[in-house]
A and B are shown apart, each in its own frame.
Chain A
Amino acid sequence: MPWELRSDRPIYTQLIEKIEQKIYSGVYPPGTKIPPVRELAQEASVNPNTMQRALARLEEIGLLYTHRTSGRFVTEDTALIKQLKNRLVQEQVRDFLEKMQQLGFGRDEILTAISKIMEENKDE
């Protein structure tokens, strides 16, 4: 099953996001080995070079590290994972708030809407 990628944004940034997601959500838990480039590229239906680039970037950030002989692993630094995860949450929430403001919603209205929808979803 290829990953869902949009063709109007750089593929490698999207790959970074997808892998980050997998790390944050625990699909790839801290300290585990991730599949080799070729396998990941095939899974995502992308060019191995692009996947390589995305993984290199994730290594720069510190989310992944390479063990010279045995492959690539997710960092064991859970504090770092948490920190990056928090940053992502903040970004997402800010984006959301900005959109809501553009639609003319005030603070209270947004909060009411969120709690209402969360309440509704809980029942499902």
Chain B
Amino acid sequence: MSNYILECKNLTKTFGPVKAIDQVTLKIKEGCIVGLLGPNASGKTTLIKLCNELLTPTSGEIYIGGLKPGVETKKLVSYLPEKTYLNDWMKVADIIDFFQDFYADFNKEKAYDMLKRLSLNPGDRLKTMSKGTKEKVQLILVMSREARLYLLDEPIGGVDPAARDYILQTILANYDQRATIIISTHLISDIETILDHVIFLKEGRVVLSKAVDEIREESGKSVNSLFREVFKC
């Protein structure tokens, strides 16, 4: 088995005339936290969906832990989509049971522990929750799996800054150093201290893929200011 949890070779995905992902080649090692950064419509979500087999490549190859995305890789990957897919009449406790049935690697205790840390009530129905609270619940569900790859698509967008710090802490506290987390976001300054590596996407192409401390060392800039420079409008 390869040491790369995610590998893409000339990966391309087109929607009609639009190239959402254009000849992307990259390798991501096991045991690191990666920021997938890019402006709107740069292909972040498309790339994540390709990893999940929610989309299939137009051309090129993609491997998760050496395997083509499919039934087997879904056991390895814990995915936080940008939109909720949970039924909003369900209580948090019901959803936790649902996940427990569904995923062999789901850790119920971990889920309840995190709910407690974020002061969420397991008896509440999703319907009654604010957008930010729903996001917290979903993130808890995703992080309670003991997966090898976590794909988090815009995990902290709707959450206030104080809770954001808390959520990042929660992610760190529950992060197994052998696992890889890929976080897509444009809230760079909030997460950049926890990243090992960043990938900048622009119009479906990788414009930069580098270790974060290397960026700081070479340019004396934060990832945030480098991003502003690269994607200057």
Say whether A47 contacts B195, CB under 8 Å.
Answer: yes
Tell me if A45 is interfacial: C-beta within 8 Å of chain B. Answer: yes
Contacts of A78 in B (CB 8 A): none
Say whether A7 contacts B195, CB under 8 Å.
Answer: no
Contacts of B189 in A (CB 8 A): 7
Say whether A47 contacts B224, CB under 8 Å.
Answer: no
A9-B220, A10-B217 known; A46+B193 contact, CB < 8 A: yes
Number of A-B contacts (CB under 8 A): 58
Say whether B168 contacts A45, CB under 8 Å.
Answer: yes
* A2 to B192 CA separation, bound complex (whole angstroms): 14
* A47 to B213 CA separation, bound complex (whole angstroms): 12
Residue with the greatest number of chain B CB neighbours at <10 A, chosen from A2, A12, A47? A47
A8-B216, A10-B216 known; A42+B169 contact, CB < 8 A: yes
A45-B168, A46-B193 known; A8+B222 contact, CB < 8 A: yes
A55 → chain B, closest Cβ, in Å? 13
Q: With CB as the reference atom, state the residue of chain A lying closest to B168.
A: A45
Say whether A50 contacts B196, CB under 8 Å.
Answer: yes
List A residues 29-77 near B (Cβ within 8 Å): 38, 41-42, 45-50, 52
A33 → chain B, closest Cβ, in Å? 20
B161 → chain A, closest Cβ, in Å? 13
Contacts of B220 in A (CB 8 A): 8-9
Tell me if A5 is interfacial: C-beta within 8 Å of chain B. Answer: yes
Size bracket of the A interface: 20 to 34
Say whether A10 contacts B213, CB under 8 Å.
Answer: yes
Tell me if B32 is interfacial: C-beta within 8 Å of chain A. Answer: yes
Size bracket of the B interface: 20 to 34
Tell me if A97 is interfacial: C-beta within 8 Å of chain B. Answer: no
* A7 to B194 CA separation, bound complex (whole angstroms): 11
Q: With CB as the reference atom, state the residue of chain B lying closest to A6.
A: B222
Tell me if A110 is interfacial: C-beta within 8 Å of chain B. Answer: no
Can you report 27 residue pairs joining A to B where beta carbons are below 8 Å apart? A2-B165, A7-B222, A7-B223, A8-B222, A9-B216, A9-B220, A10-B213, A10-B214, A10-B217, A11-B213, A12-B213, A41-B172, A42-B169, A42-B172, A42-B173, A45-B165, A45-B169, A45-B172, A45-B193, A46-B193, A48-B172, A48-B175, A49-B31, A49-B32, A50-B196, A50-B213, A52-B177
Where the two chains meet, the residues of B that have a C-beta atom closer than 8 Å to any C-beta of A are: 31-33, 165, 168-169, 172-173, 175, 177, 189, 192-196, 212-214, 216-217, 220-225
In the complex, besides A7-B216, A38-B173, 12 extra interface pairs with C-beta distance below 8 angstroms are A5-B193, A7-B189, A8-B220, A9-B220, A11-B193, A11-B216, A42-B173, A45-B194, A47-B33, A48-B177, A49-B33, A50-B196
